[in-house]
Amino acid sequence: MTHVLYPTTNLQSQEQLKLVTGRGVYVYDDRGKRYLEGMAGLWCVSLGYGNEELIEIATKQYRDLSFGHLFGGKTHQPAIDLAGKLADMVDIPDAKVFFGNSGSDANDTLLKCIRYFNQSQGRATKRKIIARDRAYHGVTMASSTLTGLAINHTHFDLPFDDLKILRAEAPHFYRNSLPGETQAQFCQRLVTQLEEMLQAEGPDTIAAFVAEPINGAGGVIVPPAGYFQAVQQLLNKHDILFLDDEVICAFGRTGADFGATTFQIKPDCMSLAKGLSSAYFPISASVISGEIYSQIEAASRELGLFGHGYTYSGHPVGCALALKTLEIYERDNLYQHAATLGAYLHQKLDEKVGAFACVGEIRGMGLIAAIQFVANRDTKTFFDNHRFAQLCQSACEQNGLILRALSDNSLAICPPLIIDKEQIDELVDILTESIDEVMRYHFIE
């Protein structure tokens, strides 16, 4: 055992797979074994491994300016250019962009900006944030409270009450709908619950609602049609901001530039990371509207500065890599590629994986999917734990495919956007073989 304290790991069973190299959609371990990387790392390596264009641009930027911070009026061109590019891309009026290092700190920054915004307007009681069950928004002290997964809460003594976090139901029709309830009725029930929460808490005390277009680590949950439109209408009515967490969904994952485009969301703020640089450098972006920025700017002017920032905010290498990554997405038409190949992926999953009695639902959109395992498909009886998904993950890995078991006993799929049809066939074939092995050789509790 090494001296590393591993993140999001069973600390009793660590260091099971040591990767040493990667090319395209494949990675290789220290024994030379090849794996199809079906999770794009952690939902992030959109352009695959060993992209020479990104390596070249990073090398050039390291030679030109290996570091430059953005404190106290200092700047550099990569940060200016990347902020301008993102402002042009997002559907947020007069957007301003704050750079960080991860999706967690991007959401943390948005929470601070919203508080700053309301405090500067004398609305100190407008502080509550509505987050949803089975959401994932990060693991910093503040962003952990937005996350709706028990494993990220237990033993951490998180400040839910101090940060005024409220919790809404996850929009997962398969799991959370009532007997006989249609998707439209389910959607209306969730919106009604949300409205009742607003009235009970007082709309003037609620600052924002935060959501992923598709819940990622919470189970790749695709909301029912009309859900976000109804939620947005309710938020607008009560002057509540919409925080769009695009850390996983942005830059082609759903088959469009943003999940907001796919689901017709009009956010006030947006968090970006992961695919922003195809994970070739840790970089995130917190995007706020011009209206929010103008209030922050006016208030900070009285203090002499805006007292928030990270050493590596807008690192020039990260910004240069992100700019090149966005260029490649657009040049190679990868958003449409993800939509086309995503449709093919879901077709193959339905044909081959959907036949298993242990599969209750196959869900997703574009190049993101999840296989929901159930103890009984006919009665929609769920397993008491997520052991079955873990067994399938292990079997896939033994057979040369990396996927990720999630806590709701589903298996997530999120390959690099550059994947082709033959590689999708390979992915689905290995997955099918692995589920069959688990069904035949392991007792299903």
Q: What is the pLDDT of residues 361-377, one digit of tens each?
A: 999 999 999 999 999 99
135 Cβ contact partners less than 8 Å away, ≥ 6 residues apart: 146, 147, 148, 149, 170, 210, 211, 212, 215, 218, 245
Tell me the average pLDDT across 124-131.
Answer: 97
Q: Are residues 325 and 382 in the same domain?
A: no
Beta-bridge partners for 168:
132
Q: Are residues 345 and 320 in the same domain?
A: no
Q: Are residues 317 and 338 in the same domain?
A: no
Answer yes or no: is 5 within a domain: no
Q: Are residues 268 and 374 in the same domain?
A: no
Q: Are residues 375 and 244 in the same domain?
A: no
CATH number at residue 281: 3.40.640.10
Segment 73-106, tens digit of pLDDT: 999 999 999 999 999 999 999 999 999 999 999 9
Answer yes or no: is 45 within a domain: no
Q: Are residues 171 and 111 in the same domain?
A: yes
Q: Which of 297, 331, 365 is the last residue of a domain?
A: 331
Grouping H, G, I as helix, E, B as strand and the rest as coil, residue 381 is strand
Answer yes or no: is 17 within a domain: no
Q: Are residues 321 and 378 in the same domain?
A: no
Amino acid at residue number 42:
L
Segment 197-212, tens digit of pLDDT: 999 999 999 999 999 9
Answer yes or no: is 152 within a domain: yes
- How many structural domains are present in the chain? 2
The model's pTM is: 0.97
Domain residues for 187?
Answer: 55-331
pLDDT band at residue 14, thresholds of 50, 70 and 90?
A: confident
Segment 261-285, tens digit of pLDDT: 999 999 999 999 999 999 999 999 9
pLDDT band at residue 443, thresholds of 50, 70 and 90?
A: low
Q: How far apart are alpha carbons 16 and 333 in whole angstroms?
A: 37
